[in-house]
Amino acid sequence: MGKKKKNSQRKQRRRQRKHNSETENSLAASGFGWLDEGGVHAVFPGKQPPPEFLELLTENFQQRLRNSPLWDEMVSKFGEQEAEKLLKQCRAKFGA
């Protein structure tokens, strides 16, 4: 491999690392999240998205929960019917 090609690849890797670092920093600065007795909370600046977004977020979360090891634990502890009721309570909502 030629010297110019190695230098070019090195520069490209540096630019990519810098871009990744800047992206991660801007994402971290744009919002934050926490977990407490009220559930999982996240705060991000900007306008409130449409209600359809909340429904999509809720469906996505419930589907991921249903496909996780936690779901099996919920079913074994509470039974299928009660686990389904608990799953339906896991909803995305906007707070004030």
In DSSP notation, 31-90 reads -EEEEETTEEEEE--SPPPPHHHHHHHHHHHHHHHHTSHHHHHHHHHH-HHHHHHHHHH-
pLDDT in tens, 3-60: 666 677 777 777 766 655 554 444 444 556 777 777 777 776 778 778 888 898 899 9
CA distance 51 to 94: 9
Tokens 């039974």 locate to 79
Question: CB-based contacts of 10: which residues, under 8 Å, 6+ apart?
Answer: none
pTM: 0.53
